A and B are shown apart, each in its own frame.
Chain A
Amino acid sequence: MFFVERLRNRFKKIEAENKKIKAEIKELNEKHEALLGINDELALDMMYKYHELLPEEKYKEEIKKRMLQRVGIIMDFEAPKTLNEKIQWLKFNDNIPEKARLTDKLAVREWVREKLGDEYLKKIYGPWDNFDEIDMESLPEPFILKPNHGSAMTMIVKNKNEMDKDDARQKVNKWLTTNYAYNSIEMQYKYIKPKVFAEDYYGDKGKDFFEYKIFCFNGKVSFVSTAERENNVATSATIYYPDWEVAPFKTKQYPINPGEKPAVLPELISTAEILCRDFKFVRVDLYVMKDNSIKFGEMTFTPTNGEQIWDPPEYDRKLGDILKI
C-alpha cells in the first residue's frame, strides 16, 4: 500500500510539473507573438518615416527598388509594359487631382451621389476631427469607425458601454496623425484632411454582405475579384471575367474557390462602368447587401500598390497589354 501511495505522489508531482511547462509554453508563445508584432510595427514605422523624409525626386527610384524587392522585376518608367508597371506609371500621370479627391472617402460620396444617386451610399455618422469630438449618443449599435484618408484602418464597436475608450482614442488619434501616402508612396492620399466617421455595422463581409472588386481598364470592366472569408480573414480569392467565367489567373497569395454568380451581376458591371469612365485604370469596389441592393465602397487607383504578384506570373504582362495608357 505504501508503495502505491508513493507512486501516486510521484505522478501528482510529474503532472503538476507538466502543467507548469504547458503554462510556460503558452506564455512564451504569447510573448513571441507580441515581439513579432513589435518587429512589424517597427518596420512599418521605419517605412513611413523614410518615405516622409525622402525628397520627391527620389520617388521613382524608391518605387523601382520596391518593385524589384516585391514583384521581382526591374521597373521601366519610360516604357511600362506589365499591369504593375502601368499602375506605378499612372501614379505620376492621368488626372491626378481628381484621383486625389476621389480617394478621400468623404469627398468621393458627393461625386457618387451625382453619378449614381443617394441610394448607392451607405449612411454615415460624423465626420469628426478627433476621437473626443465623436458624438457617441448619435451612433447606432453596433457601429464601425474608420478614417477618410487611408486603407485598412477600421474599428468595430459592438457595445458602446463596453468599449475601451482609452484604447480606442489612442487608435483613432493615431490614424488621424498618419499620412497614409507614406505607407508605400501612394501620393493620392497625401493632401486628404484626416477625419474619422462612423457607419452602421452590416455584419461579416463575405457572409452578411459581399464585396466585389471590379477592375476597370480604359472605361470597361476587365475582371472582378471576390474573396471568401473566415473570421474576417480572406481564405480564397477568385477572379472572374464580366460574364462570370473563372479567369485563368489568380493572385499568388490566395487559392481560388469559384462561387455563385451574384444575382445583380449586370447591375454591378454597369454601375462600375459609370464610375470608371474618366480613368484609364481604377478598381471600383462595390458591395451587394442582403437585400441585393448595391452600395458604393471605394475607388482604388493603386490596388495592392501595384505590387500584386499574379499567378501565373506572365499575366502581369498579359493584363498590362490590355491596359492602354
Chain B
Amino acid sequence: MNIHFIKRLKNRFEKIEKQNKRSKEEINELRIKYEDMTERYNELRLEITNRFYELLTDDKYEEEIKKRFFRGNGFTPDLENPKTLNEKIQWLKINNNIPEKATLTDKLAVREWVRNKIGSEYLTKVYGDWGNFDEIDMEALPKKFVLKPNHASGMIIIVDDKSKLNIDLAREKVNKWLTTNYAYHGLEMQYKFIFPRIMAEEHLGISGQDFYDCKFWCFNGRVEFIKSLIMINGKAFEACCYDREWRKTPFQAEGQKVKPDFEKPERLEDMIRLAEELSEGFKLVRVDMYQKGKDEIKFGEMTFTPDNGERRWVPQEYDRILGDLLILE
C-alpha cells in the first residue's frame, strides 16, 4: 500500500495538531482577556457607586446606608434600636463618627499615636510618603517594599523586585488611588478628610509564611475574638476566627475560606494586651496587627467600621450573639 498516501495523511495530521495547539493558546488568551474585562467591569460598577455617593447630600447618607445594609444582610437595620453586630456598626457609623477616628484611620497619622501609646518598636518601617507617583524617590527605596495609600483600605502594590516594576501601570494605579476618596467606597465617613499620600512601607515577606495578619476585634476595650488571615494580593485568601485562648470559635465569617489550623502566635498574650491598650475608649475597633517571624509584633491599622458592617456570620445567629456583647450606651 502506498507509502506516499500515508505520508500525506501524516503531514495533514501534524498540521491539524499544530492548529489545535494554536487554538488552545488562543483560548487561553481569550480567558485572560475575559478576566481583564470582568475586572474592568467590576471596577466600573464600584466607581459608579462611588461617584453616586460623592454627589449624594449628607442628609441622604442614613437612607443609603440602610439600603446597602438591606442588600448585603437581607433585612433593614433598626438604627433606633440596633441589636446585631452589623446593625451596631451601622449605628456607630452614623452616631459615633468622632474626629479622633478620622485621625487614627489615616495610616500615617496613626503612627505617631501608636508610638506614644505603645512604643515605636511596634511600627513597620515606612521609607517615605509622597503626593503623587512621580515624586516617589525610587532610587532610595530598597529592592522589596509595598506601596499603599494612607487614606484607604485594600489598595496595595507589593513590589518584590523594584527593577521589575511596571512603572506606567503603577503610576496609573497609584495616581488613581490618590484621587479616590475612600469615604465614598461604602459611606465610611471617617475616611473623608484624610489628605491622600502614597507611602512605601517595609515588605514583610510572604503572608502565611513569613507573617500572619491577626485582627483583634475589640468590644468596649476588650478583645472578644481574633481573626487570623492569609492575604494574597491584598485580599483574604484563608481565614479563621479564634477566641482569646486560640480555640476556634463556633462562628466564622461568611465568604472566606476557613483554614482551621493557624498556629497560635508565640506572643498572643502580648498581642491581646497591646490591642486592648490601643482600643481603650472606643466602643468598637478592630486592631490589626502582624505577627512577623516567631516573636515580632507589628501594628497594622485601626479599623473602626470592620468590613463596613456588611460581613455575614455563619451561623447567622452569631450576628445577634456578637451584637449583644457590644454595649453602645
Q: Is A32 an interface residue (CB 8 A)?
A: yes
Q: Count of chain B residues with Cβ under 8 Å from any Cβ of A?
A: 33
Question: Which residues of chain B come closer than 8 Å to A42, judged between CB atoms?
Answer: 41, 44, 48
Tell me whether B26 and A7 are in contact (CB under 8 A).
Answer: no
Number of A-B contacts (CB under 8 A): 70
Tell me whether A18 and B132 are in contact (CB under 8 A).
Answer: no
Q: Chain A interface secondary structure, helix, strand, loop or mixed?
A: helix
Q: Count of chain A residues with Cβ under 8 Å from any Cβ of B?
A: 30
Contacting chain A: which of B115-123, B148-156, B170-178, B260-268?
Answer: B170-178
Query: How far is A22 from B12 in the complex, measured between Cα atoms in Å?
Result: 17
Question: Which residues of chain A come closer than 8 Å to B19, judged between CB atoms?
Answer: 18, 22
Q: Is B75 an interface residue (CB 8 A)?
A: no
Interface residue from B13, B20, B131, B179 paired with A11 (Cβ < 8 Å): B13
Query: How far is A73 from B9 in the complex, measured between Cα atoms in Å?
Result: 63
Min Cβ gap A314→B in Å is 12
Question: Which residues of chain B come closer than 8 Å to A69, judged between CB atoms?
Answer: 172, 175-176, 179
- For chain A, residues 35 to 71, give those with C-beta under 8 angstroms from any C-beta of chain B: 35-36, 39, 42-43, 46, 50, 53-54, 65-66, 68-69
Question: Which residues of chain A come closer than 8 Å to B13, judged between CB atoms?
Answer: 11, 14
Q: Is B23 an interface residue (CB 8 A)?
A: yes
Query: How far is A22 from B24 in the complex, measured between Cα atoms in Å?
Result: 10
Tell me whether A74 and B132 are in contact (CB under 8 A).
Answer: yes
Supposing A50-B55, A72-B171, A74-B131 touch, asked if A32 and B9 sit within 8 A by C-beta, the answer is no
Contacting chain A: which of B29-37, B105-113, B199-207, B240-248?
Answer: B29-37
Q: Is A21 an interface residue (CB 8 A)?
A: yes
Tell me whether B48 and A46 are in contact (CB under 8 A).
Answer: yes
Q: Is A29 an interface residue (CB 8 A)?
A: yes
Tell me whether B44 and A11 are in contact (CB under 8 A).
Answer: no
Q: Looking at B16, B26, B47, B175, which has the most chain A CB atoms within 10 Å of its CB?
A: B175
Tell me whether B23 and A22 are in contact (CB under 8 A).
Answer: yes
A 1-43 to B, binary, CB cutoff 8 A, 1 in contact else 0: 1001001100100110010011001001100100110010011
In the complex, residue of chain A having the shortest beta-carbon distance to the beta carbon of B19: A18
